[in-house]
Amino acid sequence: MNDISEIKEIGSVTVQNILESNLNFWSTNVLDNTYGGFYGSLDYEGNSILKHSKGVILNARILWSFAKATNSLQTKGYVEILERSYEYLYKHFRDSDVGGVFWEVNYKGEPINTRKECIAQAYTILALSEYYKATKKQEVQNWVISLYHFVERHFYNITDNSYVNTIKKELEPINDSSKNLGTHLHLLEAYSSLYKIYRNETLKERIENLIEIVLDKFLQNDNYCEMSFDQDWKITTKQISYGHNLEVPCILLDACESIQTKKYKEEIVEKLESYSKEVMIQLNALGGIYPSKDIAENKYVKELYWWTQTEGMIAFQKLYKKTSNETYLHFVDRLWKLICENFLDQKNGEWYEKIGVNKEPISSNKVGMWKSPYHIVRMCIQFI
């Protein structure tokens, strides 16, 4: 294989097929026509788990996925599902009293967990920014900008230049002084998307500051991402996350492109190359990528998760484009074959969440707070 475009088809499976079938699954099987919006969970066979709560991460990621497909494919085929997704998010997760979005509602759409997670605000900003590009609705732009200001007012800690993870509905910080990679990474992703529709110099400065936080703190190790720190920036990472090792540098590169800076490019590419070394060893041995390894015990979680493989596809594609090293195309090809042959649920639709090292599916829910179309759409858009 000497060109990335060659991964687009294996047998009758193409990237376009995977994207369309995945979005079709979410626009049909996941609709909650009784209480509105989408089901909060589907079981292994794709059956709705009635009266399950509904999380903001899932709902924001659904909106982002359909908006991203709409903008990338320049299609009007998802108008109804976009409106449904936006309206449910606006009506049920938006806190009209003090701002921000709630973490969780019950099956009827009533708030049951009103804490404000920074990562939830981030994914909502990401989704609304992409949705605004598709619709140009002023209401959407107003809301997403207000969320950005909400985060800066209530989550940013100027004392140690970090973002807190959680605050209460009453806007009081929750007693959690840890500093997490996910919070900073996905806020950077969200702000980078927002900047494309809101060319604000202060926002640009916040993006560059987040790039530097992630690089200086979370990517200080040359072998893997640090996942967490305590209040004094002391490392508390217990597991190496291979999905994050691949995803984080890619999101950093996208952020640099968003604000059009080459300042950090060389360092980020070097990190991605370094973080990919152990992943390539796993791929040669297993044909897939483990999700994580316990640092203290040096033990892998010996399963293969869907999202880690998609982030591997994206990472190796970027490495090839940045370095022209065709070795990386070999690993794109291996991951693509693994996905097509083992992760697509041909009977019940969508993807298996995880498979064993023997490539057999492991029973787990098809849909949940973190099991959404987001990673699959991210991957597909890169190759269409």
For residue 168, pLDDT over 80 is answered with yes
The answer to whether residue 175 scores a pLDDT higher than 80 is no
- Between 181-195 and 118-135, two packed helices, what is the crossing angle to 10 degrees? 20
Q: What is the CATH number of the domain that holds 159?
A: 1.50.10.10
The larger pLDDT score, comparing residue 3 to residue 322, is at 322
Q: Please name the amino acid found at residue 143.
A: W
Residues listed for the chain:
384
Cβ atoms of residues 314 and 382 within 8 Å: yes
Least confidently predicted of 128-132, 173-177, 242-246, 339-343: 173-177
Q: Each residue of 98-117: pLDDT tens digit?
A: 999 999 999 999 999 999 99
Q: Among candidates 56, 21, 22, 20, which has minimal Cα distance to 38?
A: 56
Least confident range of 76-85, 162-171, 206-215, 346-355: 162-171
Output the average pLDDT for the chain: 95
In sequence order, the β-bridge partners of residue 228 are 180
Q: How many CB atoms lie within 10 A of CB 358?
A: 6
**Structural domain that includes position 293:** 4-382
* Confidence class for position 2, pLDDT limits 50, 70, 90: very low
Lowest mean pLDDT among 7-21, 197-211, 256-270: 7-21
| Residue 7 clears pLDDT 90, i.e. is over it | no
Q: What is the pLDDT of residue 174?
A: 80
- Residue indicated by tokens 């203290």: 296
Token couple for 359:
């490539």
Q: Distance (Å, rounded) from C-alpha 176 to C-alpha 118? A: 12
Query: If you search the block for the tokens 């690089």, which residue do you land on?
Result: 215
pLDDT band at residue 169 using 50, 70 and 90 as cut-offs: confident
Q: For residue 262, is pLDDT > 80?
A: yes
Give residue 170's pLDDT band: very low, low, confident or very high (50, 70, 90). confident
Angle, alpha carbons 229-129-171 (nearest 5°): 50
Q: Which of 349, 241, 376 is nearest to 301 (CA)?
A: 241
**Tally of domains in the chain:** 1
The answer to whether 229 and 217 have CB atoms below 8 angstroms apart is yes
Question: What per-residue confidence (pLDDT) applies to 13?
Answer: 86
What's the one-letter identity of residue 69?
A
In whole angstroms, give the CA distance from residue 293 to residue 183: 21
Q: Give the CA count within 13 Å in the CB-facing half-sphere of 300.
A: 15
Residue 319 · residue 265 · CB < 8 Å: no
DSSP collapsed to 3 states, the chain: CCCHHHHHEECCEEHHHHHHHHHHHHHHCCECCCCCCECCCECCCCCECCCCCEEHHHHHHHHHHHHHHHHHHCCCCCHHHHHHHHHHHHHHHECCCCCCECCEECCCCCEEECCEEHHHHHHHHHHHHHHHHHHCCHHHHHHHHHHHHHHHHHCEECCCCEECCEECCCCCECCCCCEEHHHHHHHHHHHHHHHCCCCCHHHHHHHHHHHHHHHHHHCCCCCCCCCEECCCCCECCCEEEHHHHHHHHHHHHHHHHHCCCCCCHHHHHHHHHHHHHHHHHHHHHHCCCCCEEECCCCEECCEEEHHHHHHHHHHHHHHHHHHCCCHHHHHHHHHHHHHHHHHECCCCCCECCEEECCCCECCCCCECCCCCCHHHHHHHHHCC
